[in-house]
């Protein structure tokens, strides 16, 4: 299993890292305060191909491996976690098209999405159906010339400014998960789609999430792929998305660890830097150890993604990396003491941003369920 990028992939990683450090990092605090990432920042990322990292060359992407992609997601998250959230939510939508759509739909939709000319959102979660999509209430009913789609989706990243949303709905209430289908909705040109104001979130504030209501007629061509395949598509997408959450966890963890190491060298008590204190030194050692373990689990899962079934690896990486990020960011803030609790330093933002990683794309409890079921087989 190859856990290292190729030389060509390393060049692309370096280009993304340069943009992340030069453009994303300087605006991260402002995006958090303003509760939005500036559009020009996304355009800069589009210029180095970040929006299409998950796609093959024939559909506009760079055709890279998932290990290299995970490196780049981590670089973006290390600079600005909110921007990484916008990008990876876009990947969920384009992955759904890549995995579940017809060839004609893929060719029509994905090249523009790969270039960042269109932005996607992934409409699965509902107010009453988060961890168990089978309990969703959104319905799609056939009409003479298409479908009527009606329901509410909740906590959907990008939705309010997306050019397309992949929306999952029940098409056969008697068929269980085989009765779920996916639809492509273009909210800017589809009457009957309304958005609430963005949620006031604890972290990732520059990456707004929305509730939206849809009561709209869609053409037959809006059905993504085959009727009844929506659940399978969603689960495959979430397997991929969990690796991206793990990679984002790595990015913020790295930022927090670097900040803690630098502060411990600089901050002095009784004339000596605090990294000479055993309590601080041991904290740094534990943070580093968890970071390295999370890194290896994430890259192993990314490599498995390119070689076949990877549900167990994906869930394991997401569980460990997200919980490691919580530990590392909290310890980094502790090392900074009272300074870490102020907005003059980024530590409090890191702590707020990583909290959601243990919830979305399946909570830590759901990951433990997936892992335990896989082990029982």
Q: What is the pLDDT of residue 180?
A: 97
Asked if 4 is an active-site residue, the reply is: no
Rounded mean pLDDT of 53-72?
A: 98
Considering the domain 7-114, what is its CATH architecture? Orthogonal Bundle (1.10)
Residue 2 has pLDDT above 90, yes or no: no
pLDDT tens for each residue of 325-376: 999 999 999 999 999 999 999 999 999 999 999 999 999 999 999 999 999 9
HSE value, Cβ hemisphere, 13 Å, CA-based, for 319: 15
Of 97-106, 122-131, 151-160, 281-290, give the lowest mean pLDDT range: 122-131
pLDDT tens for each residue of 71-84: 999 999 999 999 99
CATH topology of domain 120-231: Butyryl-CoA Dehydrogenase, subunit A; domain 2 (2.40.110)
Better-predicted residue by pLDDT, 293 or 2: 293
Q: What is the pLDDT of residue 94?
A: 98
Q: Where are the domains of the chain?
A: 7-114, 120-231, 232-376
Q: What is the pLDDT of residue 290?
A: 98
CATH topology of domain 232-376: Butyryl-CoA Dehydrogenase, subunit A; domain 3 (1.20.140)
Vertex 13: Cα angle to 8 and 19 (nearest 5): 135
Query: Could you tell me the pLDDT band of residue 230, with boundaries at 50, 70 and 90?
Result: very high
Q: What is the pLDDT of residue 129?
A: 80
Residue 53 contacts residue 91 (beta carbons within 8 Å): yes
Residue 66: name the closest of 104, 95, 41 by CA.
Answer: 95
Query: Could you tell me the pLDDT band of residue 296, with boundaries at 50, 70 and 90?
Result: very high
List the catalytic residue out of 75, 300, 313, 361. Answer: 361
Rounded mean pLDDT of 248-264?
A: 98
Residue 97 contacts residue 109 (beta carbons within 8 Å): yes
Q: How many CB atoms lie within 10 A of CB 265?
A: 12
Of 151-155, 295-299, 306-310, give the lowest mean pLDDT range: 306-310
Task: Give CA–CA dist 314/304, Å, rounded.
Answer: 9
Task: Give CA–CA dist 248/294, Å, rounded.
Answer: 11
pLDDT tens for each residue of 39-60: 999 999 999 999 999 999 999 9
Structure tokens at 113: 């999405």
Q: Rounded to an integer, what is the distance from CA 180 to the centroid of its chain?
A: 23
Residue 87 has pLDDT above 90, yes or no: yes
Q: Phi and psi (nearest 5°) for 112?
A: -65, -40
Q: What is the DSSP secondary structure assignment for residue 190, as one 8-state letter?
A: -
Q: What is the mean pLDDT of the chain?
A: 96
Q: How many CB atoms lie within 10 A of CB 309?
A: 11
Residue 277 has pLDDT above 90, yes or no: yes
344 burial class (0-12, 13-18, 19+ CB within 10 angstroms)?
A: exposed
* CA torsion through residues 240, 245, 247, 248, sign: positive
Residue 1 has pLDDT above 90, yes or no: no
Q: E strands within 48-179?
A: 120-123, 139-143, 146-157, 164-170
DSSP-derived 3-state class of residue 155: strand
Q: What is the pLDDT of residue 123?
A: 97
Q: What is the pLDDT of residue 78?
A: 98
Q: Rounded to whole angstroms, what are the CA distances from 325 to 163, 253, 259, 332?
A: 32, 5, 14, 10
High-pLDDT (> 90) share of the chain, %: 96
Over 326-356, what HEC string results? HHHHHHHHHHHHHHHHCCCCCHHHHHHHHHH
pLDDT tens for each residue of 313-329: 999 999 999 999 999 99
Q: Rounded to an integer, what is the distance from CA 173 to the centroid of its chain?
A: 30
Residue 88 has pLDDT above 90, yes or no: yes
Q: Rounded to whole angstroms, what are the CA distances from 299 to 3, 62, 202, 314, 335?
A: 6, 19, 29, 10, 28
Q: Phi and psi (nearest 5°) for 206?
A: -80, -5
pTM: 0.96
């Amino acid at each position: 299993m190859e856990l290292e990028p190729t030389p060509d992939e390393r060049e692309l990683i370096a280009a993304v890292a340069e943009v992340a450090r030069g453009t994303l990092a300087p605006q991260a605090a402002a995006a958090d305060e303003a509760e939005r990432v500036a559009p020009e920042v996304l355009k800069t990322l589009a210029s180095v191909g970040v929006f299409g990292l998950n796609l093959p060359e024939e559909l506009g992407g760079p055709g890279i491996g998932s290990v290299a992609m995970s490196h780049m997601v981590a670089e973006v998250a290390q600079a600005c976690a909110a921007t990484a959230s916008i990008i990876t939510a876009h990947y969920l939508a384009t992955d759904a098209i890549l995995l579940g759509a017809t060839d004609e739909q893929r060719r029509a939709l994905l090249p523009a999405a790969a270039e960042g000319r269109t932005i996607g959102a992934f409409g699965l979660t509902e107010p009453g159906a988060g961890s168990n999509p089978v309990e969703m209430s959104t319905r799609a009913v056939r009409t003479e010339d298409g479908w009527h789609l009606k329901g509410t989706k909740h906590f959907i990243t990008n939705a309010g400014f997306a050019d397309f949303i992949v929306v999952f709905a029940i098409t056969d209430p008697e068929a269980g998960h085989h009765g779920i289908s996916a639809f492509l909705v273009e909210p800017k040109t589809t009457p009957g789609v309304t958005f609430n104001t963005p949620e006031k979130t604890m972290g990732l504030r520059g990456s707004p999430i929305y509730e939206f209501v849809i009561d709209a007629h869609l053409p037959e061509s809006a059905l993504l792929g085959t009727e009844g395949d929506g659940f399978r598509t969603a689960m495959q997408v979430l397997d991929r998305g969990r690796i991206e959450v793990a990679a984002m966890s790595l990015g913020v963890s790295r930022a927090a660890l670097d900040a803690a190491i630098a502060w411990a060298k600089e901050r002095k008590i009784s004339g000596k830097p605090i990294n000479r204190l055993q309590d601080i030194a041991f904290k740094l050692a534990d943070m580093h150890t968890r970071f390295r373990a999370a890194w290896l689990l994430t890259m192993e899962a990314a490599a498995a993604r390119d070689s076949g079934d990877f549900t167990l690896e994906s869930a394991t990486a997401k569980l460990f990396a997200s919980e490691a990020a919580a530990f590392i960011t909290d310890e980094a803030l502790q090392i900074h003491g009272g300074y870490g609790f102020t907005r003059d330093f980024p530590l409090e933002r890191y702590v707020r941003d990583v909290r959601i990683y243990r919830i979305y794309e399946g909570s830590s409890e759901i990951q433990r369920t997936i892992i335990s079921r896989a082990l029982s087989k």
